[in-house]
Structure 1
Amino acid sequence: MKLDLFRGIQDDFARRKPHYVNDWVDGWNLKTLAAILFIFCTSIGPAVTFAELLQSEVEVIGVVEVLLSTAISAGIFSIFAGQPLVIVGVTGPVSILTISIYGMAKALDINFIPFYAWAQIWAALMHMALAALNACDYIAYVTRFSCETFGILIATIYLYTGISGVVKYFNEDSFSAALLQLLITLGTVWLAERLSLAKNWSVFNETARDLIADYGATLALVFWAGVSFIGRAGDTDIPRVDTPSTFETTSGRDWFVDLGDIEGWAIVLAILPGIIITVLFIFDHNVSSLMAQDPELNLKKGAAYHLDFFVLGFCILATGILGIPPCNGLIPQAPLHTKALAVTRVTEKNGVKIHKVEKVYEQRFSNLAQALMTLLMCFPPFLDVIGFLPQASLNGLFIFMGLASFDGNQFFDRMMLMITEASQRVSSHDFFQEVSFPSIKKFTAFQLLCCAVIFGITLTPAAMVFPLLIAALVALRVYLLPKHFEDAELNSLDFLDVEGTLARLGGSGDAQAEHAPVPTEEVAANKGDIETEVELTRGA
């Protein structure tokens, strides 16, 4: 790949500039209004959940900081980014990284908030520099192997976090309070799971079933929050989301960080977590962006990966100055946002009815509107409403998100095949017919080892480096796996198509259409259709 400074940003800007006015005009329709409410509901629950996790571990970052970060970043991104369909927010990996940076600052007796701010300032500068150097071209080397491992890793972290919360009930609260919280947690998991499968119900009409499935996790959260106030449950003292009474920081500090309230050597040291943030976002943000612009979604206005990464740098700069968590592309919210704006028609293929996308309302209004709605949640009386949520229901949401992320992940499917009796092994995936089972086992075992090592690292003081290990998965796929598997086996298990992906990264709408594969099941499997690999659920 040729190094041509600012080439990617210039091409992206030229590609998207003619569409900017239409990006706003096209937002005035009923489809967009429905998408605004949908994406807001699918984002607010996880945002509050991550905020509660951060407050329990970091103490000086809570609900208001996470919601404000989401609102500011989404607002900037919706106005200035090239591809406004990508939804940004605070993610699970960002929460883990923030906790690790807090531990580092505490161990070195560094004032955390200024240190955190400087880490983001350095990361912002790195984002801008990498965008200028066209670094997003290298996302073409990301395949199923990396995405699936990352998806299972995040699912495992969600499960671990939720289950750890359940264990705390019995260690820190009275027995009756612990039992009530256990009921709320399991009830949230069960109801969210049931409602998310509403599309398969025979009752109600299709529209009603779709609505129930789309808002399943949010409905479960609200329902069990209500149950916690009924009868004797309401008399039992259980922990709820800790929110301030007004728009203020969790610690009571000023909103703008005093960047000079830190030693000079600590400012330089903040480059290290800045690098880690940058590495994480190169992978996480661009993967979410790829998913939101999958060829099957039939987008017409063109991609803008380099410009988007440059704008993301300004988002991080803004959150850094305020000392609040940085945001990047959300999975599954980013692809779900595009799907919510899609107009489809039912067609039949191989005897199976499928929904084929005819057009997508590619506009900026829905992203900006959900950002403004999130901003409103930072103020009373909405803060008071959030404060009614039991922490137990958020632990339930964590567990649900973890379990739901296994669905559609080929890595998980292969793990299930490994423990299935030989006579009972069946799979719809092409690799099951094209690759010998010993090779499938070897490939899956190696992937499982990678996932286990990275997860183990997240439980140690060295947790901050886990994004580097995720990035290393790409190198392992490109350089190590070809030495242990035949080309035909890798093409079936984990197809690497650098040229085709590069066409999607930088091509115009027409170029994307030219290089995009025909949306068949076989191609979706072989070409690295990464949407289902790390998808959590439509309602989380």
Structure 2
Amino acid sequence: MGHPSQVDYGAERELSWSQRSWQYELRPFRGMWSDLRRRLPFYKSDWLDACRSANWLTVSTSVVRIFFINLMPALAYVLDMYERTEHSYGVNEVILASALAAILFSVFSVQPLTFVGVTGLTDLMNYTIYRIFHDHYQFDQTMYLRIQAWVLIWAAGFHFLVAIFNVCDFTRFITEMTSDTFGLYVGVIYVEKGIEQLIQEFSLPGHDNSTGWLSVSIAILFCVTVYYLTQLGASTYLPFQLRRTVGSLAFVAGCVFWSGFSHFPKDSIKEVPISYLPITKSFFPTWDRGWVVDFWNVEVRWVFVAAPLGLMIMLLFYFDHNVSSVMAQARKFPITKPAGFHWDFFLLGITTLVSGILGLPVPNGLVPQAPDHTDSLSVYEQVPVADQQEKDGAGAPAVEPMHHTSVAASFLHISHFPRVRNVRVVEQRLSHLVIGLLTLGSMTRPILVALSMMPRAVFAGVFLLVGFASIESNPIVTRTLSLLQDRSALGPAAHTPLRRMTIVRFVGIQWLFFAMTIAISQTIAAIGFPIIIICMIPCRTFLVPKLFTPDKLATLDAPTADAPAVMVSLGPKDENET
């Protein structure tokens, strides 16, 4: 393979969890140094693996797919920030923030598969802070950006402390109970933002309801066509590699086609005026200011007011970024190169600091895009039906634990989704760097003009599509729906060994935390929603085991971080640890 063995992750090995003392756990720079030493022998192959002829198609397809999947949601969220912060953030800011994160993490991170960019939770934090200081203290955009700079300076400092003292190790206690709840919350927030974008189309000055209904039509048609094409990639239609390519590029094709659809000729759809993505001068901030925020021109009291807000952002990123990293290197992907959480969280602190100084929306790990990035770099092969039947025994379907299953929804009349095997992942940095450079190039005038021709309805469709995709396969939703099924009508493979009340109690806890998170997000206290998510971790560790027997809990839940390449950074498991 051209790189060190899959088994030997380097000379510096972590002690297993039971062997650790607090003195060892909190030893400054231990985790960062170990991460670097383990990954350094692989750095050369991280670049060369992308250049092999066998990987060219995989890498190039990944670049196109992830470039759009990263940029389009970021632009969709900047539309929301643009309106809610009175133009403090715009297209150029979100492009520069995305490019900064992609370039920095592709070159310097230990985990280049983890994709970092601007998320909806960044949007929520930004406009909530703006509401606090604008509505209650009458701060204008300039003062807001100064306060936001101090918030991110504090957040960067907390990032550095967490990385230096190895606190990322506690990511090992995050289980699917917590990460699924967080994933459902993110999906619902996406759908909510999509609906909000469409509602605004009905109230544009000088426009009537036809504008709103055309926008709704474009958004729904975008969702339906991209969803169908993506499902096609998992079906039995067309040859295997062709349908995989179609499914991978469905999002790209949808963005291009439905943007063009809104520009159909005169005496047709173009007669209905709809709104498009607002742009400004190339390589300049949206607001009339320099790139560097003069954060030193504030009263000292506001510097300390920003500290707890910075802590909230660090708590959010601690969960969001580390879970994104874990999902990008989950056990289902045959990852061979070691992970490193401490160094990457320190690097995230640097991007947070730079974002504050430049007045950018701060990037962090992307929950939907991170595993998509790894999936796009995966080489799959189809498992013949005969081989699967021989493996499962007399044609009986393989039974998996509940936390490994999901319900695939489709309206394509697909009765059979073929099994595929992930042969290998092209673990390299080049595609990530190319995406970062392409993103930076989007600030040039020709690309900005092209982006300005995209209707807001397409971005609303992006919200709805990503949100729905996250919700439909979420285990909380599928398990809740399973409670409504008539078990006597189900085949043996669909039966679970658990009683309904056991499932009700488990998902009930998840729905409770989800409801609390959604509720606080709709108030001025939305900045505190990361606390609820973080509180789920001790709840799962100390309270939930008292409500379920170990065997039932093992069926319902599993650690989010369990891949060997991941655990080598967080602390290898003991042989008797489940």
TM-score scaled to structure 1, two decimals? 0.89
Q: In structure 1, what is the Cα distance between the partners aligned to 2:333 and 2:560?
A: 19
2:553 partner amino acid: L
1:302 equivalenced with 2:329 (yes/no): no
With over 3 angstroms needed to count, the CA separation of the structure-2 counterparts of 1:276 and 1:501, relative to structure 1, is: farther
TM-superposed CA distance for 1:4, in Å, is 1.9
1:459 partner amino acid: Q
Structure 2 counterparts to residues 237-276 of structure 1, below 5 A: 237-276=273-312
Equivalent residue, structure 1, for 2:319: 283
Equivalent residue, structure 2, for 1:339: 375
With over 3 angstroms needed to count, the CA separation of the structure-2 counterparts of 1:496 and 1:247, relative to structure 1, is: closer
Q: In structure 1, what is the Cα distance between the partners aligned to 2:335 and 2:448?
A: 37
Q: In structure 1, what is the Cα distance between the partners aligned to 2:236 and 2:163?
A: 49
With over 3 angstroms needed to count, the CA separation of the structure-2 counterparts of 1:380 and 1:388, relative to structure 1, is: same
Q: In structure 2, what is the Cα distance between the partners aligned to 1:259 and 1:407?
A: 43
1:435 partner amino acid: L
Match of 2:218 among 155, 162, 184: 184
1:4 partner SS: coil
Equivalent residue, structure 1, for 2:33: 10
Q: In structure 1, what is the Cα distance between the partners aligned to 2:247 and 2:559?
A: 34
Equivalent residue, structure 1, for 2:451: 386
8 Å Cα contact 2:513-2:533 kept in structure 1: no
1:109 equivalenced with 2:138 (yes/no): yes
8 Å Cα contact 1:504-1:515 kept in structure 2: no
8 Å Cα contact 2:324-2:370 kept in structure 1: yes
1:76 equivalenced with 2:104 (yes/no): yes
1:411 partner amino acid: I
Q: In structure 2, what is the Cα distance between the partners aligned to 1:196 and 1:18?
A: 37
Q: In structure 1, what is the Cα distance between the partners aligned to 2:436 and 2:550?
A: 46
With over 3 angstroms needed to count, the CA separation of the structure-2 counterparts of 1:490 and 1:79, relative to structure 1, is: same
8 Å Cα contact 1:245-1:384 kept in structure 2: no
Equivalent residue, structure 2, for 1:521: none
2:328 partner amino acid: A
With over 3 angstroms needed to count, the CA separation of the structure-2 counterparts of 1:214 and 1:502, relative to structure 1, is: closer
Match of 2:362 among 326, 334, 348: 326
1:191 partner amino acid: T
Equivalent residue, structure 2, for 1:86: 114
8 Å Cα contact 2:201-2:274 kept in structure 1: no
1:168 equivalenced with 2:186 (yes/no): no
1:455 partner amino acid: I
Q: Structure 2: 5+ residue runs without aligned partners?
A: 1-19, 398-417
With over 3 angstroms needed to count, the CA separation of the structure-2 counterparts of 1:4 and 1:503, relative to structure 1, is: farther
Q: In structure 2, what is the Cα distance between the partners aligned to 1:345 and 1:417?
A: 31
Match of 1:458 among 509, 521, 545: 521
With over 3 angstroms needed to count, the CA separation of the structure-2 counterparts of 1:261 and 1:508, relative to structure 1, is: closer
Match of 2:68 among 41, 48, 54: 41
Q: In structure 2, what is the Cα distance between the partners aligned to 1:491 and 1:62?
A: 46
1:294 partner SS: coil
Equivalent residue, structure 2, for 1:506: 568
**What's the RMSD between the two structures over aligned residues?**
2.5
Percent identity over the alignment?
Answer: 31
1:60 partner SS: coil
Q: In structure 2, what is the Cα distance between the partners aligned to 1:379 and 1:134?
A: 40
Divergent runs of 4+, >6 A: 514-517
With over 3 angstroms needed to count, the CA separation of the structure-2 counterparts of 1:200 and 1:303, relative to structure 1, is: closer
8 Å Cα contact 2:331-2:563 kept in structure 1: no
Match of 1:372 among 434, 437, 453: 437
1:197 partner SS: helix
With over 3 angstroms needed to count, the CA separation of the structure-2 counterparts of 1:507 and 1:275, relative to structure 1, is: closer
Match of 2:353 among 317, 320, 334: 317
With over 3 angstroms needed to count, the CA separation of the structure-2 counterparts of 1:14 and 1:390, relative to structure 1, is: same
Q: In structure 1, what is the Cα distance between the partners aligned to 2:313 and 2:506?
A: 29
With over 3 angstroms needed to count, the CA separation of the structure-2 counterparts of 1:191 and 1:12, relative to structure 1, is: same
Larger radius of gyration: 2
With over 3 angstroms needed to count, the CA separation of the structure-2 counterparts of 1:216 and 1:358, relative to structure 1, is: closer
Q: Structure 1: 5+ residue runs without aligned partners?
A: 518-526, 528-540
1:223 equivalenced with 2:257 (yes/no): yes
Equivalent residue, structure 2, for 1:66: 94
1:439 equivalenced with 2:538 (yes/no): no
TM-superposed CA distance for 1:515, in Å, is 8.1
1:390 partner amino acid: P
Q: Residues 171-208 of structure 1, C-alpha deviation per residue, up to 9 Å, x if partnerless?
A: 44402212211211221122122222122555543333
TM-superposed CA distance for 1:127, in Å, is 0.8
Matched residue pairs, number?
Answer: 513
